[in-house]
Structure 1
Amino acid sequence: MSSYFTRKKVKTKGEQYTTRKPVSPVDLTLTEMFERFMDIKKTEGLAKRTIDDHYLHFTYFCEFIQRDLKNEEITVEVFRDYIAYMLEERDLSPVTVNIRIRPLKAFLRYSHKAGFLNSPIHEDIKILKTPEDTLESLTPAEIKLILGQIDDRYYAGFRDKCVIFTLLDTMVRISELLAIKRENVDLKQGTIKLEAHETKTKRARTVPISSKTVNLLREYISETEGYNNELLFLSFNGDELAANTVRRALMTYARSAGISKRVSPHTWRHTGALLYILNGGDPFSLQKILGHADMSMVRKYIQMTNQDIKSQHNYFSPLKAVFK
């Protein structure tokens, strides 16, 4: 496929989900541990619904990690990332997150007690105590720093740059971004159509894109035409791009830029919403772009700092209408 590109294709660190590897004496994978755990639970006389719930919540977690983990890859960071993913990218309530975490804690507790895990990971996974969303937004300066870490001479870097511009400009969810089809990108009109079955609300919507994003996507679409894949954003092999690939790439760029904030795909959605309002956008059009059914969810995204409020007040103060 290399003949289709002017940029070199190099697999970056973000192309694979990796974790720190502590030494473990037991050679069991996560799935093998879970199977042994469930063998025990089935002998405890639990209701079928409880047994089914254990399988269901383990399945949710497996859908997040997208592969079986080796013993040494099972760390508390993986589960913390899962919690952040549920809160930030799936917009799940803390109550729902706790429901999904408790069975996993029980599983990890059993695995440690049985000697499958050296560390008591379950002790470091905390049940959520507050419903408040504490996700920090990025400042324009931080955004420029992150973009400055990307080497867009290579395919993966140029694709990631296009991903960031699209995430920030459209404020779409990561699942919506990765489901965008080439045919649904209208460069002339400057819009992207999100199909109903690919959105969280199961409602189709059209999101606008600015001229900067249009120009980047025009070049990207031209360069990836030879892949013959209906999806817009692809791996360097021309396959469907994994959400974890995007997450790890974003975190890598942020760390290289010296930014300590958590920088996930949802961070860009959150940042885009706040900057949209600070730049003079109205909350009603923002609601439509975000795809929320009511304003209560929109308010979660518009968490201004005291400096933001001060700047807005200086610009929109009622006194300006009196003393023009």
Structure 2
Amino acid sequence: TSLVQDFVADCRARGLSLRTVDWYDATLTRQFLPWCASEEIQNPGDLTPQVVGRFTARLIERQGPRGPLSRSTVRSYVRAVRVFLAWVQTPEGGAAAVGASPRLPRPEQRVLDVLTREEIQTMENAAKTERDKLIVRVLADCGLRLGEVLALRAEDLWEPRRGEFALKVRGKGSRDRLVPLAPALCRRLRRHLTARAADRRDPVFVALRKGADGGYAALTKSGLEQAVRTLAREAGIEKRVYPHVFRHSFATEWLRRGGNIISLQRILGHSDLTMIQGVYSHLDTSDDYQAAMRVLMGQD
């Protein structure tokens, strides 16, 4: 238990995102430590390949409140344990010998349900306020995470080079990045902020109604999720629509148009290509063919 507490404290000290640290903490204290106790594991050296294999198997066979755990959930649990056991072997973790680390189960081959550009435009058209129209457009054209949208401030509209616009985004793990922003969208955001007389430190997106103090509170996670659900319903879109689906849709459209995968990695804020290669395997051979023809034949 003390090792887990030290690991969580070290993660915080290294500036990992609060959500990531909480996930590590919850996984280790609610999943891994109880399992170690049931297996009478006293130290990391007791983790033989056979023993850790039983941990992964137990997760796969386990029944949750809604049935078996999904393969992606199992993988996220195992990944957290692997990160912890790797840390245990470092000087910060005491340089303990670890017998074995659990292997990641093979991922499910999922087909992502993404939004077409036409569906996104229909949602924007259904919005009754400029705020909601801009929420749709920023989600769709910038590929931001929900938390990144909520964290945007007026001062985050940048012009790093003359005529080139970007959003300064505070990403996971306290990693800032610049995300390209279309000039027309930048102008709309600036007009929106000017109409509100927003200060440079004010959130880009706020509640539609004033609070008891006479000011507009920052838009909340639940408020943004509700706005997206409402717009999808009013636009007549029957598929499940949530903020992160815009991120998937952005990446899918980027790859289908033959966009550079390294640039996409930087725009999305991934530390490497693993996530992109795993998540966007739903693109079919036709997409590969079209990308190849654009390269070989110079098609636009």
* Common fold: TM-score over 0.5: yes
| 2:115 equivalent to 1:138 | yes
State the Cα deviation string for residues 176-199 of structure 1 (Å, max 9, x = none): 11111111212564111124xxx2
- Matched residue of 2:178: which SS? strand
| 2:229 equivalent to 1:257 | no
For 1:1-324, what aligned pairs fall within 5 Å after superposition? 125-131=66-72, 132=108, 134-151=111-128, 157-186=129-158, 189-195=164-170, 199-225=171-197, 230-236=202-208, 237=210, 238-306=216-284, 309-314=285-290, 316-317=292-293, 321=297
Is the Cα contact below 8 Å between 1:274 and 1:301 reproduced in 2?
no
Compute the displacement of 1:143 (Å): 1.4
Q: Which has the higher contact order (CA 8 A, sep 6+)?
A: 1
Distance 2:166 2:64 in 1: 47
C-alpha distance 318-251 of structure 1, shift in aligned 2 (>3 A): closer
Distance 2:179 2:200 in 1: 25
Q: 5+ unaligned residues in a row in structure 1: which ranges?
A: 1-46, 53-85, 104-121, 152-156
In the alignment, residue 143 of structure 1 is paired with which amino acid?
A: I
Is the Cα contact below 8 Å between 2:125 and 2:133 reproduced in 1?
no
Q: 5+ unaligned residues in a row in structure 2: which ranges?
A: 6-18, 35-62, 73-107, 211-215
C-alpha distance 264-319 of structure 1, shift in aligned 2 (>3 A): closer
Figure out how many residues of one structure are paired with residues of the other and give that number.
Answer: 207
Is the Cα contact below 8 Å between 2:167 and 2:180 reproduced in 1?
yes
C-alpha distance 141-319 of structure 1, shift in aligned 2 (>3 A): closer
Compute the displacement of 1:215 (Å): 2.4
Compute the displacement of 1:228 (Å): 8.0
Q: Percent identity?
A: 27
* More strand by percentage: 2
Distance 2:266 2:251 in 1: 11
Instruction: Give the TM-score normalised by the residue count of structure 2.
Output: 0.58
Q: CA RMSD in A?
A: 3.7
- Matched residue of 2:167: which SS? strand
Distance 2:282 2:293 in 1: 17
Distance 1:179 1:209 in 2: 16
